[in-house]
Amino acid sequence: MSSIRPQSLNLTSHHARYPGIDPQSALRNSAVGKVVFISGASRGIGKATAVAFAEAGAKAVYLTARSEEALKETLALVQDANPETHCAYMVCDVTNTEEVEAAVADCVAKFGAIDAADANAGYLGPWVKIGETDPDNWWKCFEVNVKGAYNVVRFTLPHLIESAKRHAVIGGSGGHLIVVSSVGAQLLMKGASDYQTSKHAVNRLCEFVQSDHDEDGIKAFAIHPGGVATELGLSMPDNMHAYLNDEPDLAACFAVWLCSGQADWAKGRYLSANWDVSELSGLKDEIIADELLVNRLRGKA
């Protein structure tokens, strides 16, 4: 039960952006007119996601994180990637409900809508057996990974629903929500009880969002962003670092693909950014018919 081999589909595995998800080629202009809200946007995957949406022609990207200096760096990168993409930020701790609500309100006040949201902020504590854990630090994983994701979901959803309705009239696809999960949600590794159970909960949260709001046009996805050598990734035990061989913009470009409308059929599911999107799309009928990539104890009856 301690194996680290990911539970995955038998698809070609990518480790950096590739033509099928490149915002500058296949996904060029796929985000035109859209406003994207990103938490955890000050570094790593969140920073790369902001840049990728700018490359895809987003109308505006709104950034939140706890470090203002780092947010300023991301804002500069967005402006360099596409001077026509508006960008603003607010210092925000995703575990603080009032701060998240204020950031969402500010985004809408500045840019008029939220068409896509990416709940990217995360936390990983020291790997310790449950009987040796610090209770406060163990619970912090849930505060950031689950409550933080919930806060972003809760306050962006009304605007995402409006986006879905608007795009149903004008064309295109809106109302996309991404919650960053982990392949760890599918694993059982000694010492990782806080992180892996919190990410498992994130997957289930995504399923509930889809169940509750499918009729509102919402398209929610829980994604494994790959193994990225971010500050969070490098806080894993040293023997895990060899698996951190993916670039931050793999997940960033995958997020752009998810929000392009091409993956709307996969809504409510756990997906890996490593999976080749052409091959994944080729499994569409099987995935839908057999209700794959969701949490359950057995196959479809």
Task: List the catalytic residues.
Answer: 195, 199
**CA-only gyration radius of the chain, Å:** 18
Helix (H, G, I), strand (E, B) or coil at 246: strand
Torsion of CA 67, 72, 78, 81, to 10 degrees: -130
Q: What does the alpha-carbon distance between residue 195 and residue 145 come to, in Å, rounded to a whole number?
A: 8
Please report, for residues 26, 150, 292, the alpha-carbon distance to residue 296 in angstroms, rounded to integers and kept in the order given.
Answer: 34, 21, 9
Q: What does the alpha-carbon distance between residue 109 and residue 67 come to, in Å, rounded to a whole number?
A: 22
Please report, for residues 176, 229, 265, 292, the alpha-carbon distance to residue 233 in angstroms, rounded to integers and kept in the order given.
Answer: 26, 5, 30, 27
Q: Report the candidate in 272, 288, 296 with the shortest Cα–Cα distance to residue 181.
A: 272
Q: How many residues does the chain have?
A: 301
Compute how many other C-beta atoms are within 10 angstroms of the C-beta atom of residue 84. 10
